[in-house]
Homo-oligomer: A and B are copies of this chain.
């Protein structure tokens, strides 16, 4: 069996996340599997690099699958895209020689979160950025982001509902940029807890709105109580933006 890694981009608005669920609930994973199965001529099971939630997007996402089909790798993107809806695209493909697994082989991931800080909602950012009309202090938000960098127990900024052995993760960078009225936060880590980026963004927004101080964040993480941190921000502003792998997939995502 050939072990294939795909680079995907998708607008998650119409989907109940990545994870294959029960029939009748459209997910990115199930939609991809159906398309791959149709083109490959046999039933395909795909593994995603992470479980994005309902309404969450991906600029760059890795999905792996095994196949006996003989389609040459360079022809795969166009071949699969003909079977995919317009809100999911295969950008690139490569063949892995070793024990590649889209989730287990992933070294680190980056998410971005977009927030539109205008008095009036921009219709073209609907489901693409979180609309926040209140006053925000960029410097405080930037200082808040820095507090999340490093190895911490992130229990305070995760939603319950997923099983994990440990809530300790290492955040390699967390920063926020402003372009006009749009704030974009980037967070890179070795792994993410459920809703972690959305809760970090909620806490950063609380700092920007003056509800808490950036210096409160270390103690808040220490305490580990979800209720002390900011709200889980809506899914439409969240994008998986980059993934890192060793081997062939690593080159593809470089």
Contact = CB atoms under 8 A, between A and B. Distances in A.
Interface of A: 9-11, 57, 77-78, 81, 86-91, 119-124, 126, 128, 131
Nearest to A58: B123
14 contacts: A9-B122, A9-B123, A10-B123, A11-B126, A57-B124, A77-B120, A78-B119, A81-B120, A81-B121, A86-B126, A87-B123, A87-B126, A89-B120, A91-B120
Given A11-B123, A11-B124, A89-B121, 6 more contacts: A9-B122, A9-B123, A11-B126, A81-B121, A86-B126, A89-B122
The 10 closest A-B pairs by CB, nearest first: A11-B123, A86-B126, A87-B123, A10-B123, A89-B121, A89-B123, A89-B120, A9-B123, A87-B126, A11-B124
Q: How many copies does the complex hold?
A: 2
Contacts of A57: 124
Q: Among A9, A87, A119, A120, find the residue whose CB has the most chain B CB atoms closer than 10 A.
A: A120
Contacts of A81: 120-121
Nearest to A9: B123
